[in-house]
Amino acid sequence: MRLAIASDHAAFALKSTLLPWLRALGHDVTDLGTHGPDSVDYPDFGHALGVAVASGAAARGIALCGSGIGISIAANRIAGCRCARVDDPLSATLARQHNDANAIALGARLIGEEMARACIAAFLDTDFEGGRHAARVAKLDAQPPLGVGV
């Protein structure tokens, strides 16, 4: 699967351990940065991830920051990106099944590498259920971009 991954400095170490694992599983992974531990601004990397997923450059995205909150907010500002902040495999599974999430966000300061891998595996291995959920996801996608019609 074509994936994009992005992190801020707080999650750089976690991203560095996840990249080789994802590639060993056979995924084509684009690393959108950051590429070192120096302080950076998570909105820049969340934006890049949202654009990659919404444009189709990546089928799914993985966003990482200290808490997972800020980078998920940044990614979700891009129309067409549905980024769910998750903490465990069940929330990752439900994000796919019910919300057709095309990106997940994880908090490097909140979960360890093993849990991050479990969340990502659940996210990548789960399909959208459609059915009653499809109309709800369509409503999400139909919402006007920020600032339009407000």
Q: Which residues are catalytic?
A: 65, 98
- Burial of 87-101, coded b for 16+ CB within 10 Å and e otherwise, reads eebebbbbbbbbbbb
* Structure-block tokens of residue 77: 């500002």
Nearest Cα neighbor of 120 from 137, 105, 138, 142 is 105
* Burial label, 139 (beta-carbon count in 10 A; 0-12, 13-18, 19+): exposed
Gap between the Cα atoms of 87 and 92, Å rounded: 8
Gap between the Cα atoms of 1 and 59, Å rounded: 7
